[in-house]
Structure 1
Amino acid sequence: MTDQELKAHLEKARTIAVLGAHKDPSRPAHYVPRYLWEEGYRILPVNPRFAGEELFGTQVVASLGEIAEPVDVLDVFRPPEALLGHLEEVLALRPGVVWLQSGIRHPAFEAALREAGLLVVADRCLMVEHRRLFAAP
C-alpha cells in the first residue's frame, strides 16, 4: 500500500478497534491507541483481561465479536502465534484495514485476510506512520 493510499484510509477512518489494548501506559498497546484517541479517532479497546473497564472513553470488550458497529481500522497488538485464533472474528468484523503493529507478521493470517478482500498492513506502527503521514510541512 502506498503512502497516498494509507493516508487516504486514515483520513476517512473514524473508528479504530484495538485488539490487545492494554491499560499500562508504558506499553505500546496503551500509548499507541491513546495517541490515536488524542488525534480524534474513536477507540474500541478489546482485551478479555480488562473487559468491563474503561479505556480511552470506551468500555473494554472481551472479543471482537462484541463490537456491534463498523470498524475502519483494526489495530492488532497480539503475538503472531495468536493471530489465527482471531481469524474468524476478524473476517466477521470486516474492518476497512487490518493493521499488524511493529514486529507482528504471520504470512498465513495475512494471506487469509487478503483472500477475503481485506486490506492488510503488517509490521508497522500505526502511531509512527500516522505521525509521518500527517506531519506539519
Structure 2
Amino acid sequence: MSFENPSREQIGDILASAGNIAVVGLSDKTDRTSYMVAGAMQSRGYRIIPVNPLVDGEILGEKCYHTLAEIPEPVDIVNVFRRSEYCAKVAQEAAEIGARVLWLQQGIISKEAAEIAAEHGMTAIMDRCIKVEEAITMHGRNRT
C-alpha cells in the first residue's frame, strides 16, 4: 500500500484542533529552519515543546526536553526535524506517549515511520512543512 498524506482539509482540521506540538530536533540556533518554523508556529498561537538531547535549558522560551518520554503533558503533534533514518525511532516514541499525529517536515520521508504511526492509530504526514500547511489551511479559520 502506498502512502498518501491527508487532504488539505484534513490537515486544516488537525492544525485547528492541535494543542501541544513537540518539535523533535528543534535547534537553539536562530538561523536554523527548525527554529524559524517553530517560532512562526509559536507566534500563531501554537504551544511548542522543544525536544533536543543536546540542549539543556530553553528554546523559544520553552523548557527543552531530551526525549519525548520526558514531556509531562499530552502531545498532539510530533513535528520532526531529523533525517529519515531516525524517524522510525521517533515514530515509536511518539506512539509510546500517545501522540495523535507524526509530522515529518519537508524533505523527510520514512515509510517505516509511517507504518509505525498507522499501526498505533496516529495520522502520518510526510514531506510537508507545518508552517506552510498552517498558512494555507488555516487562512480565515479559527483554532478550537
Q: Do Structure 1 and Structure 2 share a fold, with TM-score over 0.5?
A: yes
How far apart are the structure 2 equivalents of 1:72 and 1:113?
A: 13
Task: Tell me by how many angstroms 1:10 deviates.
Answer: 0.7
Task: Tell me by how many angstroms 1:31 deviates.
Answer: 0.5
Encode CA deviations 1:73-97: one digit per residue, 9 max, x unaligned.
1100010111233343111112121
Aligned length: 136
Task: Tell me by how many angstroms 1:3 deviates.
Answer: 1.4
How far apart are the structure 1 equivalents of 2:78 and 2:21?
A: 6
| Equivalent in the alignment of 1:40 | 45
> Which residue of 118, 128, 131 corresponds with 1:127?
131
| Equivalent in the alignment of 2:117 | 113
- TM-score, length basis structure 2: 0.88
1:62 maps to amino acid: H
| Equivalent in the alignment of 1:12 | 17
| Equivalent in the alignment of 1:26 | 31
1:45 maps to amino acid: P
Unaligned runs of 5+ in 1: none
Quick check: 92-101 or 82-91, which moved more?
A: 82-91
1:64 pairs with 2:68: yes
2:92 maps to amino acid: E
> Which residue of 84, 89, 92 corresponds with 2:88?
84
- CA RMSD of the aligned region, Å? 1.5
SS of 2:92 mapped into structure 1: helix
SS of 1:48 mapped into structure 2: coil
How far apart are the structure 1 equivalents of 2:20 and 2:90?
A: 19
- TM-score, length basis structure 1: 0.92
Q: Percent identity?
A: 32
How far apart are the structure 1 equivalents of 2:89 and 2:8?
A: 30
How far apart are the structure 2 equivalents of 1:49 and 1:123?
A: 25
| Equivalent in the alignment of 2:103 | 99
